[in-house]
Copies of this chain bind each other. A is one copy, B any other.
Amino acid sequence: MLREKGLKVTAQRVAVLTALSKEADSHLTAEEIYERVKVSSPEIGLATVYRTIQVLLELKIIDRIYLDDGYVRYELGHVYEDEDSHHHHHLICVKCGRVMSFQGDLLEEFEKRMEDKTGFRIQDHDVKLYGYCVDCLKKKI
A residues in contact (CB < 8 Å) with B: 64, 66, 68, 91, 93-94, 100, 102, 104, 106-107, 110-111, 114, 118-134, 137
Q: Which B residues are CB-close (under 8 A) to A68?
A: 64, 66, 126
Complexed CA–CA distance, A129 and B119 (Å):
13
Q: How far is the CA of A118 from the CA of B118 in the complex (A)?
A: 34
Total copies of the chain: 2
Task: Kindly state the separation between the CA atoms of A102 and B107 in the bound complex, as whole angstroms.
Answer: 14
Do residues B134 and A120 form an inter-chain contact, with CB atoms below 8 A?
A: yes
The answer to whether A120 and B91 touch across the interface, beta carbons within 8 angstroms, is yes
Q: Which of B107, B126, B128, B132 contacts A106 (CB 8 A)?
A: B107
Nearest CB of chain B from residue A74's CB, rounded to whole Å: 13
Residues in B with CB closer than 8 Å to A130 are: 122-126
